[in-house]
């Protein structure tokens, strides 16, 4: 276990456990935490030992209870613009396009920037006591780390606008019904469920998974271009060693060794 300023990092076999470790602040995202997370993502992306990531929060109360609002006080319009742009480019968009599976283990409150962080991950597994929401309108703000774009993609325009315009929290079960999370489980099953999902993914081609993330994101961002990107990536997959191994294993009636 490696203890950093705002994180705990543990790599077991090929899974990196990244825990936001500010329980006294309900793991709120301040600038220092985001900077540290940006560095961790770069490190894990280039670490060939790591094939997947579980992202969670320390303690039992919160995944991430939002941004550190104290840092917002006194920001000018230009400074706020720069803050949001940096967070997008260095953290949220990096997570969203990460070439290795990233699962958010939502162990409690996921509010504001915390929910945006979870939505940037590929898959979300929530504990039954989790509460999720985007309360920014109660501060005279809107979500600034991708929430206005990613939430409608997951739950549809109507439900997204309801959540954003009321600022209300929803339960884990409601989040599951709406498609905001993939699974809801008991707290003690949260990490095991994430690991079960990753275990399935580790049996598949890592290069194909990276391509799939890329083209799914292109299709969502530029729907007209998504089909062309899929065709190009499908062709590109044929030139990879994983494709050769996958087809060989299928023809030889054995499990592939990716």
Give residue for tokens 């191994």. Answer: 245
Instruction: Give the residue from 144, 158, 154 showing the smallest Cα distance to 72.
Output: 144
Measure the CA–CA gap between 230 and 220, rounded to whole angstroms.
12
Catalytic residue among 136, 230, 244, 252: 136
pLDDT in tens, 198-227: 999 999 999 999 999 999 999 998 766 776
Token output for 13: 């076999």
Per-residue confidence (pLDDT) for residue 166, from 0 to 100 = 96
Per-residue confidence (pLDDT) for residue 250, from 0 to 100 = 81
Measure the CA–CA gap between 211 and 243, rounded to whole angstroms.
12
Span of 5-19, 91-105, 138-152 with lowest mean pLDDT? 138-152
Q: 230 pLDDT exceeds 70?
A: no
Boundaries of every domain in the chain:
2-202, 206-251
Per-residue confidence (pLDDT) for residue 243, from 0 to 100 = 83
CB 77 within 8 A of CB 49: no
CATH code of the domain made up of 206-251: 1.10.12
Catalytic residue among 90, 116, 162, 230: 116
162 assigned to active site: no
Per-residue confidence (pLDDT) for residue 101, from 0 to 100 = 98
pLDDT in tens, 16-54: 999 999 999 999 999 999 999 999 999 999 999 999 999
Chain-wide mean pLDDT for the chain?
A: 93
Per-residue confidence (pLDDT) for residue 117, from 0 to 100 = 98
**19 burial type by CB count under 10 A (0-12 exposed, 13-18 middle, 19+ buried):** buried
CB 135 within 8 A of CB 165: no
Measure the CA–CA gap between 142 and 134, rounded to whole angstroms.
8
pLDDT in tens, 126-175: 999 999 999 999 888 899 999 999 999 999 999 999 999 999 999 999 99
Measure the CA–CA gap between 157 and 178, rounded to whole angstroms.
11
- 206-251 matches 2-202 in CATH topology: no
Indicate the CATH number of 2-202 among 3.90.226.10, 3.40.50.620, 3.40.50.970, 3.30.420.40.
3.90.226.10
**Which pTM does this prediction carry?**
0.92
Per-residue confidence (pLDDT) for residue 223, from 0 to 100 = 64
90 assigned to active site: no
Per-residue confidence (pLDDT) for residue 205, from 0 to 100 = 96
């Amino acid at each position: 276990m490696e203890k950093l300023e705002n994180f705990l990092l543990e790599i077991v076999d090929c899974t990196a456990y990244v825990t936001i470790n500010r329980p006294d602040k309900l793991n709120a995202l301040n600038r220092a935490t985001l900077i540290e997370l940006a560095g961790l993502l770069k490190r894990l992306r280039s670490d060939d030992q790591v094939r997947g990531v579980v992202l969670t929060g320390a303690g039992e109360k919160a995944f991430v209870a939002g941004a550190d609002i104290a840092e917002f006080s006194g920001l000018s319009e230009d400074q706020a613009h720069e803050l949001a742009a940096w967070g997008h480019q260095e953290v949220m968009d990096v997570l969203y396009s990460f070439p290795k599976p990233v699962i958010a283990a939502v162990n409690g409150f996921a509010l504001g920037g915390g929910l945006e962080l979870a939505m940037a991950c590929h898959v979300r597994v929530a504990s039954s006591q989790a509460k999720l929401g985007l309360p920014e309108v109660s501060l005279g703000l809107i979500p600034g780390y991708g929430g206005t774009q990613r939430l409608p993609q997951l739950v549809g325009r109507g439900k997204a606008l309801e959540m954003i315009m009321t600022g209300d929290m929803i339960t884990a079960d409601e989040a599951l019904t709406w498609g905001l999370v993939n699974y809801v489980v008991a707290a003690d099953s949260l990490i095991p469920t994430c690991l079960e999902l990753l275990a399935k993914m580790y049996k598949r081609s890592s290069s194909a998974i990276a391509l799939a993330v890329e083209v799914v994101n292109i299709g969502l961002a530029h729907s007209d271009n998504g089909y062309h990107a899929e065709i190009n990536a499908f062709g590109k997959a044929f030139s990879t060693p994983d494709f050769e191994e996958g087809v060989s294993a299928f023809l030889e009636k054995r499990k592939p060794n990716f």
